[in-house]
A and B are shown apart, each in its own frame.
Chain A
Amino acid sequence: MSDLFWLIPLVPGASAFILLVFGRRLPRAWVSWQAAGAVFLSLLLSAAAFIGLAGPGAEPQGLTKTLFAWIVSGSFRTAVAFHFDQLAAVMALVVTGVGFLIHVYSVGYMAEDGRYSRYFAFLNLFTFFMLVLVLAPDIVLMFVGWEGVGLCSYLLIGFWFDRPAAAKAGMKAFVVNRIGDAAFILGMLLLLASVGGGSFRTINDAAASGALAPGLATLAAILLFAGATGKSAQIPLYVWLPDAMEGPTPVSALIHAATMVTAGVYMVCRLSWLYAASPAASAAVAWVGAVTAVYAATMALVQNDIKRVLAYSTISQIGYMFIGCGVGAYAAGLFHLVTHAFFKSLLFLAAGSVIHALGGEQDMRRMGGLRKHLPVTYPVFLVGALAISGVPFLSGFFSKDAILTSAFAGGHYVLYGLGLAGAVMTAFYMFRLLFLTFFGPARSPEGAGRHVHESPRVMTVPLVILAAFSALAGFLGLPALFGERVYLFGRFVGWAFAPPSGHVSLSVEAVLMLTATASALLGIGLAFRMYRRSTEIPQRLARRFPALYRLLAGKYYVDEAYDAVVVRPLLRGSGWVYERFDLKVIDRTLDGTAAAARSAGRGLNVLQSGLVRDYALAFLLAAILFLGFLLI
């Protein structure tokens, strides 16, 4: 069974093709079953391949299947091939597992949408590209997946393209990603030129053995990371992700929380030896991650749109993953990626259930008191919020703790401090969201209770499953404090990474763990005090520090700054080029050419008399000339 792993991406790909071509004519039930079934089949194949990899008698270096040669040019050659190793196994299981649950959820969420088959076609297509990205054995094929998921992200953000905001958000995501991708391409070409091959093994070997000059390694690593800041929404290219919330909520859960946005983290993990070979690039990764983690969290504190809070939270959490990668704890970064995929998609889907229940309302100021009306959504949301806040023994606790401990162990105390500050804010904004949505009086204008209803089974069952994973996934990665042998996750993926640096004693680890717990509880307590106990505090604070509040609520005016510094000069420059060069040079040249041809034609058409005899005469003269030429 496990040698069929190369079918993992192809099954959703084939399903996407069928839905794109015939989707309109298929009945809805068929579309639902096919789309979800294809991903479920991928999940089964992934699980089988995973068992082959983890079970007894496994091949530790993974499996490779070459489908066909793709580019053969001189000494450069690359094939379409899939490679299934520990890292790919983890990612494939997350993508297909979470992806399957979100497909099922979408059946309920999108039930009333007019473009039902189109939606599932795009969702399947996304799964296909994401799996290509994950299973690619070389950087060139990975880039195909990388671009493909970007395309699907664009299509799905702008899925309700008749809403101008959605169409604009899709375009913004695409353009911002393209900026990052330009850097990614440069980094990729640099590696191809200097290493002589695109396979991850070649690159990692070259970096580890020192065959790749340190300067080049740093440059390539930073260029690739610049690409990752676009895809994974880090400073300075994070601006597209909050706007991407215009898409359907399951899309936000799948693409913009669980899978695609973590592609950058996956890429850094894949090339861990390259990053390990370059301390400068690693430091850049860690610092960008840490600053983003705090920066995005501050913006999440004051957002009123339920999905935007989660969007900034996603940016912040991906920052944590990059801290892990940057300090050399790749396994910890990847572990946080996995747990985050569970609890963040849970939070998004639960938020979607809330929005669904309120008939499209996303503003938390008009929610409240939903705890009683949503008997399933509320507890699963609570589990997700506890997990992301890092309350002990839920998944987020272990993964965030692993990252922070590694940062501390590596001597990066400032990074550790930033991470801790971010953790307090994470707990605060998550429970602010929870209290505003589920507690207190109903602030819905038409009066809650009349239209509010719990979502159908097809939506709540995936929520419950995800909640179970969010609660329990942490035990896959128990820290050393509980015994060296229980760190299952690290032992499974560990060999795929450059070895981590630095260890802390068990007592220090225990102290760090208590500190993390305290910070989570501090954030929750603050939220409780401000949004449950004395609800006038937020307004008092906003009045006390009006400038700070405006800065945060205005999202630091980064969108406006980009607009002024990049977008508008570019538009003005393009306008100038259009007027000066396009109209005056290119158009005039072409018009001149056309005019010359026209007047030449007018001059020559004297010869066209329309009389048969004139033509015959020309014929005769030509024949005589030709004959004379032959004879002489």
Chain B
Amino acid sequence: MIPSAAFLALAALLFVLGIIAFFVKKDLLTQFMAVEVMLNAGNLAFLALAKGFGRADGQMLVLFVITVAAAEAVIGLAIIVLVFRQRKTIRTDDLKDLKG
């Protein structure tokens, strides 16, 4: 029986990995994947706590998050494809139109 604290630790590790990946990578696609990792680290934390407290609402929430994440991933990927078509690049350093 693996203690729920271990799941929590894994979730934290995944989250930090996601943050690092987001900051070191320079193309949108990888950064998007890093965001997904952080998201799923959050899911894992929900499950760990649900297991730890012996309650089902955390698991339920995870199901919702997965559903929404699916939709979000579709939109996010579509945006990336469109950005690439327009600009022929997805390097975030080249995309700085919002500079004031």
Interface, chain A (partner B; CB < 8 A): 604-613, 616-617, 620
Given A611-B92, A611-B93, the answer on whether A616 and B22 have CB atoms closer than 8 Å is: yes
Q: What's the Cα separation between A613 and B98 when bound, in Å?
A: 13
- Chain B hits for A610, CB < 8 A: 95-100
- Taking the complex as formed, is B64 at the interface, i.e. its CB lies under 8 A from any CB of chain A? no
- Chain B hits for A604, CB < 8 A: 100
Q: What's the Cα separation between A608 and B100 when bound, in Å?
A: 5
- Chain B hits for A616, CB < 8 A: 22-23
- Chain A hits for B98, CB < 8 A: 608, 610
Q: What's the Cα separation between A605 and B96 when bound, in Å?
A: 14
Tell me which residues from 54 to 100 in chain B have a Cβ below 8 Å from any Cβ of chain A: 92-93, 95-100
Do residues B99 and A609 form an inter-chain contact, with CB atoms below 8 A?
A: yes
Do residues A606 and B100 form an inter-chain contact, with CB atoms below 8 A?
A: yes
- Chain A hits for B22, CB < 8 A: 613, 616
CB distance from A608 to the nearest CB of B (A): 3
Do residues B100 and A620 form an inter-chain contact, with CB atoms below 8 A?
A: no
Q: What's the Cα separation between A620 and B38 when bound, in Å?
A: 13
Given A617-B23, A620-B19, the answer on whether A612 and B100 have CB atoms closer than 8 Å is: no
CB distance from B57 to the nearest CB of A (A): 22
Q: What residue of chain A has the Cβ atom nearest to residue B92's Cβ?
A: A612
Do residues A613 and B92 form an inter-chain contact, with CB atoms below 8 A?
A: yes
Q: What residue of chain B has the Cβ atom nearest to residue A613's Cβ?
A: B23
CB distance from B10 to the nearest CB of A (A): 19
Interface, chain B (partner A; CB < 8 A): 19, 22-23, 31, 92-93, 95-100
CB distance from B96 to the nearest CB of A (A): 3
Q: What's the Cα separation between A607 and B100 when bound, in Å?
A: 8
Do residues A609 and B96 form an inter-chain contact, with CB atoms below 8 A?
A: yes
Q: Nearest 5 CB-CB pairs, A to B?
A: A610-B96, A605-B100, A610-B99, A608-B100, A612-B92
* A-B pair number, CB within 8 angstroms: 29
Q: What residue of chain A has the Cβ atom nearest to residue B19's Cβ?
A: A620
CB distance from A339 to the nearest CB of B (A): 80
- Chain B hits for A607, CB < 8 A: 100
CB distance from B42 to the nearest CB of A (A): 13
Q: What residue of chain B has the Cβ atom nearest to residue A623's Cβ?
A: B19
* Residue from the set B31, B98, B100 with the largest chain A CB neighbour count within 10 Å: B100
Can you list 20 pairs linking A and B with CB atoms under 8 Å apart? Answer: A605-B100, A606-B100, A607-B100, A608-B98, A608-B99, A608-B100, A609-B96, A609-B99, A610-B95, A610-B96, A610-B97, A610-B100, A611-B92, A611-B96, A611-B99, A612-B92, A613-B22, A613-B23, A613-B92, A616-B22
- Chain B hits for A611, CB < 8 A: 92-93, 96, 99
Q: What's the Cα separation between A617 and B23 when bound, in Å?
A: 8
- Chain A hits for B31, CB < 8 A: 612
Q: What's the Cα separation between A607 and B99 when bound, in Å?
A: 9
Q: What residue of chain A has the Cβ atom nearest to residue B23's Cβ?
A: A613
CB distance from B25 to the nearest CB of A (A): 9
- Chain A hits for B96, CB < 8 A: 609-611
- Chain B hits for A606, CB < 8 A: 100
Q: What's the Cα separation between A613 and B93 when bound, in Å?
A: 9
Task: Given contact pairs A612-B92, A612-B95, A613-B22, enumerate 4 new A-B contacts (beta carbons under 8 Å).
Answer: A608-B98, A609-B96, A610-B95, A610-B97
Q: What residue of chain A has the Cβ atom nearest to residue B25's Cβ?
A: A613
- Chain A hits for B97, CB < 8 A: 610
CB distance from B41 to the nearest CB of A (A): 14
CB distance from B86 to the nearest CB of A (A): 16
Q: What's the Cα separation between A608 and B99 when bound, in Å?
A: 5
Q: What's the Cα separation between A199 and B98 when bound, in Å?
A: 66
Q: What's the Cα separation between A616 and B93 when bound, in Å?
A: 13
Q: What's the Cα separation between A413 and B31 when bound, in Å?
A: 105
- Chain B hits for A613, CB < 8 A: 22-23, 92
Q: What's the Cα separation between A616 and B99 when bound, in Å?
A: 15
Q: What residue of chain B has the Cβ atom nearest to residue A620's Cβ?
A: B19
CB distance from A33 to the nearest CB of B (A): 63
Q: What's the Cα separation between A609 and B95 when bound, in Å?
A: 11
Q: What's the Cα separation between A617 and B31 when bound, in Å?
A: 13
Q: What's the Cα separation between A605 and B22 when bound, in Å?
A: 24
- Chain B hits for A608, CB < 8 A: 98-100
- Chain B hits for A609, CB < 8 A: 96, 99
CB distance from A312 to the nearest CB of B (A): 71
Q: What's the Cα separation between A605 and B98 when bound, in Å?
A: 10
Q: What residue of chain B has the Cβ atom nearest to residue A614's Cβ?
A: B96
CB distance from B100 to the nearest CB of A (A): 3
Q: What's the Cα separation between A610 and B95 when bound, in Å?
A: 7
- Chain B hits for A617, CB < 8 A: 23
Q: What's the Cα separation between A610 and B97 when bound, in Å?
A: 6
Q: What's the Cα separation between A612 and B30 when bound, in Å?
A: 13
Q: What's the Cα separation between A251 and B66 when bound, in Å?
A: 77
Q: What's the Cα separation between A621 and B57 when bound, in Å?
A: 30
